[in-house]
Amino acid sequence: MTGDGHRGHYIVCGGNALAHRLVLELAEHYEVPVVAVVPDLARDHGPRIGRLPGVAAVLEHGSVTEEALRAAGVAGALGIALVDGDDQQNIHAALTAQGANPGIRIVLRMFNQRLGEHIERLLPNCAALSGSATAAPAFANGVLGRPNSVPVGGRYLYVAYDEDIGEGRLCLVADRIDRQDLSRLRLLPETAGRAAEFIALARRFGDNGPPGADPSAPPPPAGEQGGLAALQALASEPPLRIPWTSRLRWTLLDALRYVTGARMRLVLSTALAAVLLSTAVLYLAHRDLGWTLYLALLDLAGAAQPDDPGQGGPWTRLAQVVITFCGITFMPVATAIVVEALASGRRGVPRAPGAGVRGHVVVVGLGSVGIRVAALVHETGVPVVCVESDPQARGIAAVRALGIPVLVGDAPLESQLRRARIHRARALAAVTSDDAANLEAALEARAVRPDVRIVVRLFDDDFAHHVYATLGNVASRSVSYLSAPAFAAALMGREVLGTLSVYRHVLLIAELVADDASGLVGRDLRSIEAPDGVRVIALRLARRPGDLQWNFADRGRRLEAGDRIVVAATRSGLARLGPPSAPEPAPGPPGRNGPSGPSGQNGLPRQPEPPAEEQLSP
């Protein structure tokens, strides 16, 4: 099939989970014609993509070649998303697409974000995104038990629930939350951002429904719970609630393990214990702390003189001898440490988790997501232990370079988790690409320690719903669901700053520019908020680009060219807040899924206890 009949459409190349979600996002929420190019219609997510309604055509090509792009009608396409393959393959396909259509909008998935920045500067009208980088913060904050946040203009936006909602909220996000049936969650109700009265009444009346509701309306179904969620901002990212003593202990232990082996640590510990005991003996003899430290340090350096036979006693002399000999031991050990750290290079050397590790996070799976989750948790100072079954996984070398212990091998998962000391861990993140393997890791961890915090990566919505309903302390997230809205928005020329989770739903934080392409010039803030699912939370005037004004008071002000607005929106809300409709595609031959043209239809949350399932669904 050729692409001559396709014009004004969007092309999605890939057969993975992200491609599946992106095609669904474009067809359902943006209601644009989509041509999907999959490597195999019978494998991976190819069959699911082939069954999606509203897709103009599904083409099968082993790789994204010039022939494949021509068959997909790249010359007449408005945009193309390359979300499968490695970085080199995606760059090559992007260059080919631009050569065939210089004005096409290009969005490509890049694991190397630095390289992606260079590609964005090289190719006009191009955006390079990383799905794992978009979703990893939600996983990392989930296992750390702190709210996930999106930085905007020097502030950190997050979702607060119920009693955690403060006076500094930006807007109400949800006014009805049934935690037993998350499909009943209503996002972004038609309530102004300054909703103090609304929140007070909702708290007062609880299950009687939101204030302002029709008194004659039937009561909510049995079991429905009242609940609120609001978008709030902090001047700095919420800190981890970890005692400073634990942080100091982790830092010292990590530094010691970095430069020493197990035997060397045993020698140092024994010598240090002997020095401390001998110093205590000296203090008991002299009862003078200053004089005791003076003698101990001289003895440790091997510079002390024998004491007067008339002073002290045999225990004092023995203590000085012990300190002196320990000092002699310390010097070669210290030298060995320096040589080992500088010459032999311990970074990248495999090591198992120490017997004393506790309060750590266990990360199962070292794919692109696992690497980033482990790195983000490690940056906070919390200990991390990784488990990977594939010895060839690229993430093993990456996390070992950070000094993170990795357990590698195809041993039973139960034994691997025990070796990772899951019974002393604070949380588990199961982020392999296999839903069943992730669930197995969660169940094995619960069997060892029922109260451990668990975050699993799941793609299938129904599967995630059953997991949440069955396992109370397991939170699930989908990488493709968290990242697909950002890819879709980028394909439409919009900038999504981040995604926040509100239970099973995604809240997008996006910055939009008022220009002819966006269709926002001349519209006031009130009319922008009229469609359900959009709230303008900040305004940056064109004449004052450095000043971001939060909850701009004049909602009737019309936007001028160059003004920028920051919005909180649902997926459907952001899709409806779009530029003027693209021209209808010319009629063409029917695709695999029916006639050409669409038939579209219509996330620092705090972790609730038990943690809520966050496999995000429409």
- Report the b/e string of 188-226 with b at 16+ CB within 10 A: bbebebebeebbeebeeeeeebbbeeeeeeeebeeebeb
Q: Helical H runs in 145-300? A: 196-205, 244-259, 262-286, 289-300
Q: Which amino acid is at 448?
A: V
Q: Contact at 8 Å (CB) between 301 and 327?
A: yes
Q: Helical H runs in 500-545? A: 525-529
**What is the torsional sign of CA 429, 434, 438, 441?**
negative
Q: Which helix (H) or strand (E) holds 11?
A: strand 10-13
Number of helical (H) and strand (E) elements in the chain, helices listed first: 19, 22
| SS3 (DSSP) at 60 | strand
At 413, give phi and psi (nearest 5°): -60, -35
CA 40/CA 48 separation, integer angstroms: 11
Q: What is the DSSP letter of 399?
A: H
CATH of 1-129, one of 3.40.50.720, 3.20.20.140, 3.30.540.10, 3.40.50.300: 3.40.50.720
Non-local (6+) Cβ contacts of 240 within 8 A are 144, 146, 380, 382
The ranges assigned to domains in the chain are: 1-129, 244-344, 361-457
Please, which contacts does 300-309 make with residues 24 or more away whose CB atoms are closer than 8 Å?
300/275, 300/324, 300/326, 300/327, 300/330, 301/327, 302/327, 302/328
Dump the DSSP string for 101-164.
-TT-EEEEE-S-HHHHHHHHHHSTTEEEE-HHHHHHHHHHHHHHTS---EEETTEEEEEEEGGG
Q: Give per-residue pLDDT as tens, 61-104.
A: 989 999 999 999 999 999 999 999 889 999 999 999 999 999 99
Residue 61 is predicted with a pLDDT of 92
Which residues of the chain are under the pLDDT cut of 50?
1-2, 192-199, 201-203, 205-225, 308-310, 344-349, 580-618
Residue 216 is predicted with a pLDDT of 40
Please state which CATH number belongs to domain 361-457: 3.40.50.720
CA 283/CA 296 separation, integer angstroms: 10
CA 573/CA 563 separation, integer angstroms: 20
Q: Which helix (H) or strand (E) holds 565?
A: strand 564-569
Q: Which amino acid is at 143?
A: V
Residue 222 is predicted with a pLDDT of 36
Strand partners, 108: 82, 128
Q: Contact at 8 Å (CB) between 536 and 525?
A: yes
Residue 601 is predicted with a pLDDT of 32
